Chains A and B, each alone.
Chain A
Amino acid sequence: MKQLSPATRARYFRRQLVDRLMGGLCIFAAGVGLLLLALILWMLFSNGLAGLSLEVFTKPMSQPGSGGGLANAIVGSLLQVGVGAMIGAPLGMMVGVYLSEVGKESRFASVVRFVNDILLSAPSVLIGLFVYQIAVLPFGGFSGFAGSIALALIAMPIVARTTEDILRLVPQAYRDGAVALGSRENEVVRKVVLPAAFGGILTGVLLAVARIAGETAPLLFTSLGNDVWSLDMTQPMASLPMAIVRYSNTPYPEWVSLAWTGAMLITVGVLVLNILSRFSYAAVAGKQGG
């Protein structure tokens, strides 16, 4: 190797040093994030596993000392999140398709995109209060439906955003190819663009579901929570987040323990949804890819 001049060597050394320093900082930051996550999970599982029993899934909430579970809260959460997703996801997808395929850079689309971004970052308690105004007060009381509407309003902008982002990743060449074969706009979207983006959109929906599964604030003013077993969506309805709020602020060790278990259940559920979304994406991508 050629002999380097001292100035070149100094510069070379400095660049190497900076490179290592930056790399080290990145690894450190990733480590801090991982450590915090591990600590949270550790705390959650060490506290939550203690209260885990069959009764948690079979018995509804009841007075301390009477062997209550979380069954009504679990079912209530599933119902409200399920209905919320069924309302919010299709709406969000349609908004996403509009933004990416129809409106594009038009003025109206820009406004919709901007409003959607605002909705995306709106405090969820605000959405709860809004739904309280439109779906609780006029109907004379708290209800599971009102809770679902609030959750749908949170899921919709998330799904709209991911749908638009994913659709924009679909190569323009697919659209051109379909148009050149004599497809109309709606056929291009339905038969080529959406199938190509299916995995990504499904991932977006699952992540939105994961997000609303843990929401508490929007349920506070809408479905309220319910201590007894109820599947009636027109009545106040229990949910895991509301049960956690209610139980964790009590002097009864049994209830506090159940609150931890509930928190653990939500976390596990969200984790499962995230893993599922990975698989769904990989499965669809695998089917399409070569």
Chain B
Amino acid sequence: MLATMTTETQSSNAPRATPLQAMRVAASAGPAIVSPTRITLEKINAFYDQKQALFDVNLEIPDNSVTAFIGASGCGKSTLLRCLNRMNDTIPGARVEGAIRMDGTDINAPEIDAVQVRTRIGMVFQKPNPFPMSIYDNIAYGPRAHKIHESKAELDEIVEKSLRRAALWDEVKDRLNKSGLGLSGGQQQRLVIARTLAVSPAVILMDEPCSALDPIATAHIEALIDQLREHTCIVIVTHSMAQAARVSQRTAFFHMGKLIESGPTDQIFTMPKLEQTQDYITGRFG
């Protein structure tokens, strides 16, 4: 159905797909996915100046599940992740072609503001990056910036709810006015996740969220990711095969800027269709 069309980032005149169309895409996505498609990628080509980082990537990312991007360093998986919330806009010389539709809307369409996209699609980075302010102010940053709350009481509520959802409330409820930088690495990463949750994003992108954490903190974050997918669509870039297998329902394998294979995680890890995927997963390269 959705006509394959390549649209320039700046000059998109693609017809807006309706949510209904998005639902139909999901219906055609195969029996393995029960959730509707949240994000559809059509022929994504990404460039840094003259260097092409992504080649014709087509992918559907379902809601209420975790999609893992795997592949060797420099394969383009982080670039693709950063395309999804237009973080690449901030890099001089970066350019994206193709259509990225969230619930049927092209996020690169000229009438769509990048700021709008980023409040709907949150992002968690490799290294925990709490702002140098109190735990409370960290969480309240997004709601304050977007005037989500109407009263101090409501803001308090958002802060508590976000910290609870990030499984951090019990550890920090007595020190909300202390600096976020005083927390451990794992706590900081959960703080950052809570900060993202405070603006109620529909999608959360995670760029190797556990690579700077110890195994126990990693287990915490993974458990959290599993809980969060109940209400959100999560895309995670990871270098750890084991992590991809543990937390994701769908896996997409990238190599040299191309999407090699994607499908249900079980299938990718137990019976990949391509030998290249098999080689990477079993550790023969990368």
Contact = CB atoms under 8 A, between A and B. Distances in A.
A181 B132 contact: no
Nearest to B117: A182
Contacts of A184: 115
Contact of B125 (A176, A191, A289): A176
Contact of A195 (B85, B123, B133, B142): B133
A183 B145 contact: yes
Contact of A182 (B119, B125, B182): B119
- B123, B125, B132 pick with most chain A CB within 10 angstroms: B132
A198 to B, nearest CB: 9
B115 A176 contact: no
B132 to A, nearest CB: 4
Nearest to B115: A182
B241 to A, nearest CB: 26
B55 interface: no
B182 A290 contact: yes
A179 B87 contact: yes
Contacts of B72: none
A182 B179 contact: no
Given A181-B122, A191-B145, A195-B133, A290 B181 contact: yes
A195 to B, nearest CB: 7
B142 A287 contact: no
Given A179-B90, A180-B118, A181-B142, A289 B179 contact: yes
A181 B182 contact: no
A94 B77 CA distance: 38
B196 interface: yes
Interface in A177-197: 177-184, 187, 191-192, 195-196
B115 A288 contact: no
Contacts of A180: 85, 87, 118, 122-123, 125, 196
B183 interface: yes
Interface residues of B, number: 28
Interface residues of A, number: 21
A169 B85 CA distance: 26
Nearest to A187: B145
A195 B127 CA distance: 21
B280 interface: no
A23 interface: no
A177 B192 contact: yes
A280 to B, nearest CB: 15
A282 to B, nearest CB: 14
A174 interface: yes
- B90, B119, B192, B195 pick with most chain A CB within 10 angstroms: B90
B195 A181 contact: yes
A177 B129 contact: yes
A176 B87 contact: yes
Contacts of B130: 177
Interface string B181-197: 11100000000100110
B131 interface: yes
B141 A191 contact: yes
Nearest to B85: A180
Contacts of A289: 132, 179, 181-182
A178 B181 CA distance: 16
Contact of A181 (B118, B127, B133, B183): B118
Given A176-B87, A181-B196, A183-B145, A288 B133 contact: yes
Interface in A222-249: none
A137 B169 CA distance: 67
Contacts of A179: 87, 90, 118
Nearest to B86: A179
Interface in B65-108: 85, 87, 90
Contacts of A32: none
A179 B86 CA distance: 10
B51 interface: no
B146 interface: yes
Nearest to A106: B92
B129 A181 contact: no
A288 B179 contact: yes
A290 B182 CA distance: 4
Contact of A177 (B119, B125, B146, B183): B125
A95 B195 CA distance: 31
A30 interface: no
Contacts of A196: 131-132
Contacts of A288: 132-133, 179, 181
B133 A182 contact: no
B116 A182 contact: yes
A173 B132 contact: no
Contact of B129 (A176, A187, A191, A287): A176
Contacts of A174: 129, 131-132
B268 interface: no
A288 to B, nearest CB: 4
8 contacts: A176-B90, A176-B125, A177-B131, A180-B122, A181-B118, A181-B142, A182-B145, A290-B179
Given A173-B127, A183-B145, A289-B181, 13 more contacts: A176-B87, A177-B125, A177-B129, A177-B192, A180-B118, A180-B123, A180-B196, A181-B118, A181-B122, A192-B131, A196-B131, A287-B179, A289-B182
